[in-house]
C-alpha cells in the first residue's frame, strides 16, 4: 500500500541510482521539486508493454514512459534533440548516419546500455517473424537500413537512399535491452515478451519510469527509474514525481468525475461540451485551470471493411460478399460522406467547439495540409443520387434502400465502449443514414476486443474511431497510407495493392519518403491527400478544439496539440509546487 495521496509530496529522499552517464542529458526545464504521485485515467488496460509489437493507444499510454530512444522530439519546437545519443551526424552522401551514445548509460536493472542494444533493436524491427506496425518508416523503397556497431558507444546507420524523416523515424525508436530479450527473439517468442503478465522486475527499460504494479481492470502504477540519464539545470535527476499512475475508468463521464473530485491530476481529453462546466468549477474551487489549445491533430472518421480475403479459419469471405460489393464502390463511400450532418455534430456533440473535417490531416498541420480538397457537404439528395448511379435505391417504397439484387442496405456499426463522445457521434451517423434509407445496427464494443477485430480477425463491417498524435511528418503515416501497412485500416497488410489508387499512393509515399526537397515532397503528399479525399476510404467527421484541465499545483506545463498526450508528453518534467 502506498502511504500518500495524489499530488502530495512523498517523505524521504529518492533512491540513489547509478552514476550519471558522461555527459548526462541536461533538460532545459525550470528546476522543480521531487515527490508525489501523478494520476491520470484511461479507458482500458494495456494489451502489452512491448513497444515494437503494440499497435493501440492503451499500451502506448504506458510503454512511452518505460523506454528511451536515441533522440527526443521536443513537441513545441518540433525539433529533434539529444536522447541516449548525445551527438549525431550525416555524411555528404545523405545516407550514412553516425550516433554517439553517452558513456555510462545503464538500464533500469543496472546493466550497461550500449550500441549492442541499438543493433539488437533493429534486428527485432527487421525480423520477419515480428509484426511491426512502424516497419515502413524504417525502410526506403522496401529496403531496410543497415545498422552497424562501430564500438560500444558508436553506431552507424546506412539507408539505401536518402530518407527525408530519418532523424525523427530512427531517433524515436524505443531501444530494447538485448540482455533481456535476445533469448525471446531466438525462441521466436518476442511478440509475447513484455506482456502484461511480465513481473515488474522483468520489465527493463531506460525511460523516466519503470513498472511498479499492474492490476488488470484497475490501474498501472509506474515508479521513478533511478537510473534515468536526464538531469535538470540544477543537477537534479529527473523525473520529479515518484510515481505515475494510470487508472482504468469505464467511460469519459467517470474520467471527468474523477478529475472534478480531485482524484486525478491531469485531464487531457476535456470534451468541448464540458468546458463551461469545468470553467465554472475551476472558478469556484480554485483547484485547477482549463486551457484551450486550438484545433489539434485528432481527426474522427469511420470506414468500411474493404478486405477481399478469406477468413483463415473458416475459409469464408472476411466480409459478406454482397456488402463488400457496396463498400468497395467509390460512389457508395462518397454518398455516405454526403449523408453525415457534420454541422449538427459540431453543434450538439461539441457545443460548437469543433469544425468539420474532410481530409487526412487537420488544419493544425498547416505545413503539410493540401489545398482544394473535396468537401462533402451535408447533402442527402446528392447522396441518394450517387447511390442511384450504382443501382442502390428504394425499389418497393418501404423507405429502405436496396441494391440491384433486392438486398436491403444494412450493416453493423462499431465503436469502442467508454467514449461518450464517439457514442453520441455514432448515434448521429446512425440517424443520418436511417433518414437516407440505410439500416445501421450500432454495437459498441470493448476497446481491446474491437482492436483485435480490426487488426487481427477483420470481423467487422464498419467502425468509428480516430487518429491523433504521432508526428506531423507525412512519413509517420506510412503504416496507414501504404497498402501493406498494419494500420491501413480499411484493408491492412495487402500482399500487393488491390486497387490502382492504392498502388499510386504506395508509389507517392515511397517517393516522398526519400525526397529531401520540401516543395517536391509536399507536392507528392498533396496528391496522396487528393486521392484519399476522392476515394474516401476513411469518411471524416469533425476535428474538435482541444482542451485540457490541470491541477494548479502542477508546474512545468508545456501543453501541445501536436501530441495525443497533450499534457503528459513531458511528464518527466512535471512537478508539484509546495503549498
Please tell me the CATH code under which domain 299-543 is placed.
3.10.105.10
Q: What is the pLDDT of residue 134?
A: 79
Asked if 169 and 511 touch (Cβ cutoff 8 Å), the reply is no
Report how far residue 102's alpha carbon sits from residue 18's, in angstroms, rounded to the nearest whole number.
14
- CA distance readout (Å), 434 to 58, 214, 339, 454, 550: 33, 44, 10, 25, 40
Q: Say if residues 138 and 173 touch (Cβ distance below 8 Å).
A: yes
What is the pLDDT, as a whole number, of residue 54?
A: 85
Counting Cβ atoms within 10 Å, is residue 93 exposed (0-12), middle (13-18) or buried (19+)? Answer: exposed
* 10-residue mean pLDDT series, the chain (579 residues): 28 61 95 96 91 86 97 88 98 97 97 98 95 86 95 98 95 97 96 95 97 96 98 96 96 92 94 94 96 90 97 92 98 98 96 93 91 94 98 94 97 94 96 97 94 93 83 90 93 96 97 95 98 97 94 96 90 90
> What φ, ψ does residue 210 adopt, rounded to 5°?
-135, 160
Nearest of 315, 316, 337 to residue 462 by alpha carbon? 337
Task: Specify the pLDDT at position 507.
Answer: 96
Handedness of CA 133, 199, 469, 173 (dihedral sign): negative
Confidence (pLDDT) at 133 = 80
Residue spans of the domains in the chain: they are 299-543
Cell triple for 198: 511480465
Cα angle: 540, vertex 543, 549; to 5 degrees: 145
Tallying the residues shown for the chain, one arrives at: 579
Q: What is the pLDDT of residue 469?
A: 58
CA–CA distance, 117 with 69 (Å, rounded to integer): 11
- Identify the pLDDT of residue 297: 85
Q: Where are the beta strands (DSSP E) in 307-434?
A: 354-356, 410-414
What pLDDT shows up at residue 303? 98
Cis check for the bond before 300: say yes or no (omega within 30 of 0): no
Here the cell at position 89 is 551526424
Which residue has cell 485500416?
489
Q: What does the pLDDT read at residue 16?
A: 63
- What is the tens place of the pLDDT at every residue in 195-252? 999 999 999 999 999 999 999 999 999 999 999 999 999 999 999 999 999 999 988 8
Tell me how far apart the alpha carbons of residues 372 and 523 are, in angstroms, rounded to a whole number: 13
Name the β-bridge partners of 301.
465, 540
What are the backbone dihedrals phi and psi of residue 349, each rounded to the nearest 5 degrees, phi first? -90, -35
Q: Tell me 433's DSSP state.
A: H
What's the confidence (pLDDT) of residue 470?
63
Amino acid at each position: 500500500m502506498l502511504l500518500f495521496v495524489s499530488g502530495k509530496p512523498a517523505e524521504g529522499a529518492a533512491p540513489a541510482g547509478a552514476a550519471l552517464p558522461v555527459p548526462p542529458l541536461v533538460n532545459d526545464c525550470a528546476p522543480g521539486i521531487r515527490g508525489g504521485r501523478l494520476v491520470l485515467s484511461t479507458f482500458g488496460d494495456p494489451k502489452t508493454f512491448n513497444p515494437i509489437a503494440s499497435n493501440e493507444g492503451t499500451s502506448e499510454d504506458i510503454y512511452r514512459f518505460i523506454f528511451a530512444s536515441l533522440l527526443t522530439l521536443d513537441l513545441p519546437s518540433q525539433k529533434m534533440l539529444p536522447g541516449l545519443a548525445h551527438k549525431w551526424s550525416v555524411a555528404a552522401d545523405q545516407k550514412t548516419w553516425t550516433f554517439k551514445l553517452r558513456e555510462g548509460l545503464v538500464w533500469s536493472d543496472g546493466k550497461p546500455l550500449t550500441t549492442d542494444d541499438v543493433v539488437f533493436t533493429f534486428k527485432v524491427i527487421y525480423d520477419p517473424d515480428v509484426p511491426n506496425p512502424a516497419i515502413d518508416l524504417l525502410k526506403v523503397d522496401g529496403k531496410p537500413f543497415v545498422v552497424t556497431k562501430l564500438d560500444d558507444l558508436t553506431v552507424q546507420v546506412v539507408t539505401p537512399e536518402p530518407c527525408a524523416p530519418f532523424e525523427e523515424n530512427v531517433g524515436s525508436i524505443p531501444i530494447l535491452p538485448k540482455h533481456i530479450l535476445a533469448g525471446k527473439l531466438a525462441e521466436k517468442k518476442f511478440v509475447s515478451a513484455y506482456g502484461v503478465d511480465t513481473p515488474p522486475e522483468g520489465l527493463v527499460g531506460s525511460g523516466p519510469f519503470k513498472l511498479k504494479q499492474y492490476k488488470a481492470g484497475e490501474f498501472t502504477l509506474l515508479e521513478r527509474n533511478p537510473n534515468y540519464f536526464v538531469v535538470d539545470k540544477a543537477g537534479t535527476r529527473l523525473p520529479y514525481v515518484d510515481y505515475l499512475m494510470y487508472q482504468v475508468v469505464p467511460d469519459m463521464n467517470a474520467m471527468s468525475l474523477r478529475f472534478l473530485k480531485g482524484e486525478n491530476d491531469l485531464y487531457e481529453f476535456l470534451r468541448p461540451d464540458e468546458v463551461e462546466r469545468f470553467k465554472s468549477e475551476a472558478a469556484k474551487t480554485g483547484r485547477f485551470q482549463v486551457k484551450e489549445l486550438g484545433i489539434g491533430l485528432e481527426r474522427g472518421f469511420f470506414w468500411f471493411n474493404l478486405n477481399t480475403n478469406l477468413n483463415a479459419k473458416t475459409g469464408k469471405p472476411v466480409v459478406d460478399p454482397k456488402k463488400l460489393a457496396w463498400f468497395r464502390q467509390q460512389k457508395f463511400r462518397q454518398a455516405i460522406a454526403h449523408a453525415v450532418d457534420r454541422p449538427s455534430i459540431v453543434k450538439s456533440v461539441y457545443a460548437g467547439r469543433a469544425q468539420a473535417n474532410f481530409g487526412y490531416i487537420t488544419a493544425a498541420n498547416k505545413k503539410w495540409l493540401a489545398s482544394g480538397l473535396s468537401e462533402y457537404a451535408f447533402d442527402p439528395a446528392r447522396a441518394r443520387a450517387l447511390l442511384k448511379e450504382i443501382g442502390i435505391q428504394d425499389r418497393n417504397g418501404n423507405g429502405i434502400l436496396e441494391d440491384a439484387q433486392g438486398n436491403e442496405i444494412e450493416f453493423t456499426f462499431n465503436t469502442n465502449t467508454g467514449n461518450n463522445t464517439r457514442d453520441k457521434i455514432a448515434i448521429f451517423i446512425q440517424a443520418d443514414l436511417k433518414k437516407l434509407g440505410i439500416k445501421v445496427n450500432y454495437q459498441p464494443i470493448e476497446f481491446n476486443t474491437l482492436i483485435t477485430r480490426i487488426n487481427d480477425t477483420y470481423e467487422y463491417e464498419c467502425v468509428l474511431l480516430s487518429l491523433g498524435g504521432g508526428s506531423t511528418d507525412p512519413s509517420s503515416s506510412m503504416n496507414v497510407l501504404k497498402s501493406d501497412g498494419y494500420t491501413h485500416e480499411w484493408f491492412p497488410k495487402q500482399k500487393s495493392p488491390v486497387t490502382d489508387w492504392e498502388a499510386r499512393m504506395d508509389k507517392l509515399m515511397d517517393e516522398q519518403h526519400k525526397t529531401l526537397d520540401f516543395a517536391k515532397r509536399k507536392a507528392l503528399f498533396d496528391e496522396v491527400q487528393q486521392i484519399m479525399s476522392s476515394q474516401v476510404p476513411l469518411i471524416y467527421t469533425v476535428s474538435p478544439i482541444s482542451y485540457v484541465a490541470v491541477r494548479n499545483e502542477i508546474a512545468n506545463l508545456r501543453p501541445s496539440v501536436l501530441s495525443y498526450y497533450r499534457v503528459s508528453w513531458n511528464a518527466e518534467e512535471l512537478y508539484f509546487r509546495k503549498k
